[in-house]
Homo-oligomer: A and B are copies of this chain.
Amino acid sequence: MGIIVGYYSTKFGELWDKSLFDLVEEAINGVIKQTQIEKKQIDVIFFANMLAGVLENNLHSASKIAEIIGLNIPVFRVEAACASGGVAFHLAENYIANHQNKTALVIGAEKMTDYSPEQVTAALSAAASGEEQEAGLTFPGLYALIAQVYLNKYHYNEENLAYVSFKNHYHGTLNEKAHFQKKLTLEQILKSPYVAYPLKVLDSSPISDGAAALIITNNQQIIKKTKHQVKIIASEVATDTISLKERKFLDRLLATSLAAEKAFKKSKIKKKDIQVAEIHDCFSIAELLAMEDLGFWPKGRAGTKIKELSTMIGKGNNLFVNTSGGLKAAGHPVGATGVKQIGEIYLQLTKQAGKRQVKKAKYGLAHNVGGSGGTAVVTILGG
């Protein structure tokens, strides 16, 4: 499998002075500079973006990126809602694994804040099923249904959810590229207004702009030359029915369990070997489910475990989760998210994570979800 040799992300946030392709260009130039390879050494590009078609009638981004980079190489745009970034990485990894001495650039980008929250919420609901859209169910609504099932079944309440945001906002203060770099108290989170009961504003990831880029290679010359390297040891994708009404259970995401099972089998490491994980916390409930579905915590226990703060920097000691701030505090420019998650693991494993650096991390995991669990990607790095 390939080696990650470089990562760059723009600031995530409300970047009103930058267009989608301004962000893409900054990410490309950033990762090229950081890696010190030449543009012409890139053989293929995978680009993750969800909403540019819907929001700004902007498709065929492959050829627009070819124009930016000035090369005639294959460029592929992939879309899997909020899992677009993880899927782009997965396909890039597969693509170069099929060739010798190849280098892939993976870019994820999204431009969301030029539009009203209503426009963006409607656009995001494109990832839901047709029936769910017609019924007026938005993503906060879908995850709220999941949260109700989970809280009722395992006898938790909104406070158990709030600990996710509490931890991730603290981590955000350690990441200078995070959308929000402000610590929140549990009380602030619990007093924030409801978006869809029991989920509140401060249970929800924000609407953000941003781009992130990674370079993966199996080109021996580049591997020799670059300084910071991390092995890809598994990248697996699973899908599930998108309609909640078609699912047998709502207290877990089947696609996450299936992707994780395949990824751990392939990587030959155990769950306890992972010291750092970026997990898809689009809503606080999503991180609780994922910690269980990935196998880190037993089913139904996440509500209790999160209160122990064992996954928080400065508090825990084994497994640190969402050190970037997660989607909640680092921001969620949809197409960029899956790339940023893998990038954060790369930074941690190469000791480039600055103030949020975790000690002795050998293995890390990134978990990226599309829609209300229709697609899941699990990536394991390290070794």
B-contact 0/1 string along A198-240, CB 8 Å cutoff: 0000000000000000000000000000000000000001111
> Residues of B contacting A349 with CB < 8 Å?
none
Q: For residue A133, which residues in chain B have a CB less than 8 angstroms away from its CB?
A: 57
Give the complex CA separation of A98 and B241 in angstroms.
27
A125 at interface by CB-CB < 8 Å: yes
How distant is the Cα of A60 from the Cα of B59 in the complex, in angstroms? 15
Interface size on A, residues (CB 8 A): 55
Give bound CA distance, A73 to B259, whole Å: 10
Complexed CA–CA distance, A140 and B3 (Å): 44
Rounded to whole angstroms, the CA-CA distance of A326 and B265 in the bound complex is: 46
Q: How many copies of this chain?
A: 2
In the bound complex, do residue A80 and residue B77 qualify as a contact, i.e. CB atoms below 8 Å apart?
A: yes
- Interface presence of A72 (CB below 8 A): yes
**Which among A10-18, A30-38, A61-69, A164-172 touches the partner chain?**
A61-69
- Which B residues are CB-close (under 8 A) to A370? 60, 62-63
A254 vs B66: C-alpha distance when bound (angstroms): 13
Give A1 Cβ to nearest chain B Cβ, in Å. 10
Tell me whether A5 is interfacial, beta carbon within 8 Å. Answer: no
Interface residues of A in 92-106 (CB under 8 A from B): 94-95, 97-98
Contacts of A127 in B (CB 8 A): 59-60, 63
Bound complex: CA A243 to CA B370 (Å) = 32
A354 at the interface (CB under 8 A from B): no
Q: How far is the CB of A295 from chain B (nearest CB, A)?
A: 17
A-B complex: 5 closest residue pairs judged by Cβ atoms: A63-B374, A66-B239, A60-B81, A60-B127, A59-B126
Complex: how many Å from CA A342 to CA B57? 28
